[in-house]
Amino acid sequence: MRVLITGISGFVGSTLAPALREFGHEVRGASGRGDVTELLVGCEAIVHLANIAHGSVSPDMLYRVNVEGTRFLAEKAVAGGARRLVYLSSIKAVGEKTHGLALSGAEVPAPENAYGRAKLAAERALAEVAGRTGLEVVILRPPLVYGPGVKANFLALMRAVDRGWLLPLASVRNRRSLIYVGNLVEAIVRCLEVPEAAGKTYSVSDGDPVSTPQLVRALAGALGRPARLFAFPPKLLEAAGTVLGRGDSVRRLTRSLEVDDSAIRRELGWAPPFTFEEGIRLTCKWYRSGRG
C-alpha cells in the first residue's frame, strides 16, 4: 500500500514511517504546511499526524490549521483516489479528566480547551467528508504519548527525576492512561490494514493506568535514580500551580484520565507489543543517549 504521512518528521511520524516500510508499505512524507496535492497522487491511504499543538497559537489559528486543514486534506485525498484516512486525534476531544469511569468513546464529548474542541471539530469534519464521498476514515484518540523523542511535560518530568528534584507528588492518588509511541504506531498500522476499521473511532493506551507517583518511580528506576517524592495535599498543589500560571500542567499530574481501549483490542485484534515498563525503559535509554 502506498501511504502518505503528514507530519512525517514529527515525534510519531518518525517512528511510524520505518515501521510501515518494515510491513512492506511504500511511504511518502509531508512535513510543514505545504501543498500535498502532488504527494497524494497514487496514494491509497493517508495517516494525518500534522497539527498545531495547543497553547502555541490563537484559537482561530488552531481551528484553521487543525480543522479546516484536515478537511482540505480529506477533500484532496478523495480527489487523488485515496481509499482510507487514519486521523490521529486525541482523548482531549472527549475530555480532560475521569472520575472512576474510563473514556471509551461512548460518552458525550466534553472537550475543555481550544485544542480539544478543535480535535473534535476535525473529527466531525472528516465524518462529513466521509459521509459525502465514501472515504474510509478511522480516528484514533490516544492519551499522552511518550517514547524516544518525547517533548513538553513528559520530558520535563524525566529531567526533574534525573536531576534528583524533590517532587511534591507522594499524596497523589490518580489514575492516568498513557501510550508508548511504539504501541501507538502498531495501532495505526492495524487501522490502515484491517478492513473492519473503516468508519470507526478508537481509544488506545498501554493498558492499565498508572498514578503519577508510579510513573515517577518507573522513570527513576529506569534512570538509575532515587524517586524523591514527598507528601503535599493535591488541592493545595493545584492552587499553587494556578497562582504560578501552571494550573493545567499541575492538574495533569494530580487528576485522573483513564482510557478504555477494549474496542480496538476486540474488533481489530490489536494488543500493545510493548509493556509500560518496556516503554519507560526505552524512553529513558533514549534520554540517556544525550538526545533528550
What type of residue is 160? A
Asked whether residue 94 is assigned to any structural domain, the reply reads: yes
Report the pLDDT value the prediction gives residue 109, as an integer from 0 to 100: 92
Which alpha helices (DSSP H) does the chain contain, by range?
13-22, 37-40, 59-63, 69-79, 114-133, 152-162, 181-193, 212-223, 234-243, 247-254, 262-268, 276-286
Asked whether residue 225 is assigned to any structural domain, the reply reads: no
**pLDDT tens track, the chain, 292 positions:** 999 999 999 999 999 999 999 999 999 998 765 678 889 999 999 999 998 876 667 888 888 999 999 999 999 999 999 999 999 999 999 999 998 899 988 889 999 889 999 999 999 999 999 999 999 999 999 999 999 999 989 999 999 999 999 999 999 999 999 999 999 999 999 999 999 999 999 999 999 999 999 999 999 999 999 999 999 999 999 999 999 888 888 999 999 999 999 999 999 999 999 999 999 999 999 999 986 6
Asked whether residue 136 is assigned to any structural domain, the reply reads: yes
Report the pLDDT value the prediction gives residue 32, as an integer from 0 to 100: 61
Quote the radius of gyration of the chain (alpha carbons, Å). 19
Report whether 9 contacts 176 (CB < 8 A). Answer: no
Report the pLDDT value the prediction gives residue 33, as an integer from 0 to 100: 56
Report the pLDDT value the prediction gives residue 54, as an integer from 0 to 100: 66
Report whether 193 contacts 131 (CB < 8 A). Answer: no
d(CA 181, CA 15): 7
Three-state secondary-structure class, residue 273: coil
Report the pLDDT value the prediction gives residue 30, as an integer from 0 to 100: 82
Out of 115, 146, 202, 287, which one is annotated catalytic? 115
DSSP notation for 134-167: --EEEEEE-SEEESTT--HHHHHHHHHHHTT--B
Give the three cell numbers for residue 20: 510501515
Q: Is 202 a residue of the active site?
A: no
Asked whether residue 289 is assigned to any structural domain, the reply reads: no
Report whether 95 contacts 68 (CB < 8 A). Answer: no
Report the pLDDT value the prediction gives residue 241, as an integer from 0 to 100: 93
Report whether 40 contacts 46 (CB < 8 A). Answer: yes
Report the pLDDT value the prediction gives residue 192, as an integer from 0 to 100: 97
d(CA 85, CA 241): 39
Asked whether residue 248 is assigned to any structural domain, the reply reads: no
Q: What is the CATH number of the domain that holds 13?
A: 3.40.50.720
Asked whether residue 172 is assigned to any structural domain, the reply reads: no
- Nearest 10 degrees: Cα torsion 119, 206, 241, 97: 60
Entry field: residues in the chain: 292
From the number of C-beta atoms within 10 Å of its C-beta (0-12, 13-18, 19+), residue 204 rates as buried
- The boundaries of the domain holding residue 194 are 2-143+179-205+259-273
Report the pLDDT value the prediction gives residue 36, as an integer from 0 to 100: 84
Asked whether residue 157 is assigned to any structural domain, the reply reads: no
Asked whether residue 93 is assigned to any structural domain, the reply reads: yes
